[in-house]
Amino acid sequence: MSIKDKILELKKEKNAVILAHYYVADEVQEIADYIGDSFYLSKKAKELEEQIIVYCGVSFMGESAKILNPDKLVLMPDMSADCAMAHMVDLENIKKIREEYDDVAVVCYINSTAEIKTYADVCVTSANAVKIVRNLPNKNVYFIPDGNLGRYVAEQVPEKNVILNSGYCPIHHAITAEEVEQAKAKHPNAQFVVHPECVKDLLDMADYIGSTSGIIDYVAKSDCKEYIIGTEEGVLYELKKQNPDKQFYMINNNQICHDMKYITLEKIYKVLLEETNQLEVDAKLREAALKPLDRMLELAK
Ligand code: 13P
Ligand code: SF4
């Protein structure tokens, strides 16, 4: 029996569900029950009836699923799959900003550790950040950890005073405007679609800016036949599946989140079989990190 069939059989037997982010390897997306962006997967994690969730993504994603579902078993195929940006916050700075401004909301991108979330008033993802920040009662917003997404949100919501942090995604931040210009010159009929974790110069050149699922929806609805992709290469799986008649071009050879690729079919089978790599979040930490996540789900409705 193939590893894929073994997983599917075991999953059925244990009544487990597999969640996968768009950045994991194609063969992992292929066996997942639900594939999506960070926001979709957080919402979905809360709606599931199954008792076992195998989370194919990086640690902050599994952690969020466990915080939202403390009674479920959340299994991580590889515990070391992490997001570099999730740690890029100096907690002292949050305290300083809170002392400096009496009307400030600390808005925390979901790409952050559970500990960092406990310092936040609300979480956001790239799919809902603009909407949530716009609707906050506070004039001042301290946006952590992603400086690029924070700057994009600030531009979209000029009525707010958005204080930026210096965190960034090493993969998105590294794509340069020069590389995009070269790709555009090579593919003059292509539209450029980009994730807001990229630098401003890139966003200024884009035909569409949005989360992974935003990009996928935009491409599906657009009449254009060619696209230059300003995000991680894993989105190609869904883009090609939904649009077999369209062409996709990456900008450089490094649009790869290696941590996402730690997730393999063999590791999924092993954790499902042995029920190892169970994600645990301390009860006190969970209670404090749940508040901004719940507020996000509420405000995003
Ligand atoms: P999405 O919320 O668009 O899925 O992005 C998550 C992420 O990690 C982007 O680098
Ligand atoms: Fe984190 Fe960047 Fe990987 Fe997304 S692509 S999980 S932001 S390191």
DSSP one-letter code for 127? T
Residue 38 Cβ < 6 Å to ligand 1: yes
Q: What is the DSSP string of 138-182?
A: -SEEEEESBHHHHHHHHHH-TTSEEEE--B--HHHHT--HHHHHH
Tokens 């979330």, located at residue: 117
Q: Which residue has the higher pLDDT, 43 or 184?
A: 184
Mean pLDDT of 39-47: 91
Nearest-atom number in ligand 2 for the CA of 57 is 6
Mean pLDDT of 93-98: 97
Ligand 1 centre to CA of 175 (Å) is 16
What are the pLDDT digits (tens) for 225-234? 999 999 999 9
What are the pLDDT digits (tens) for 173-212? 999 999 999 999 999 999 999 999 999 999 999 999 999 9
Mean pLDDT of 241-246: 98
Mean pLDDT of 143-150: 98
> What are the distances in angstroms from CA 275 to CA 19, 52, 57, 211?
16, 9, 17, 32
| pLDDT on residue 58 | 98
Ligand 2 centre to CA of 60 (Å) is 10
Question: In which band, very low, low, confident or very high, does the pLDDT at 279 lie, cut at 50, 70 and 90?
Answer: very high
Q: Which residues pair with 24 in a beta bridge?
A: none
Residue 155: other Cβ atoms inside 10 A: 14
Q: Which of 39, 111, 198, 199 to mutate to test the pocket of ligand 1 (most atoms within 8 A of CB)?
A: 111
- Determine the Cα–Cα distance for residues 30 and 244; give it in Å rounded to an integer: 16
What are the pocket residues of ligand 2 if the criterion is a CB atom closer than 6 Å to any ligand atom? 58, 83-85, 111, 169, 171-172, 197, 232, 257, 259-260
pTM for the complete prediction?
A: 0.96
Residue 59 Cβ < 6 Å to ligand 1: no
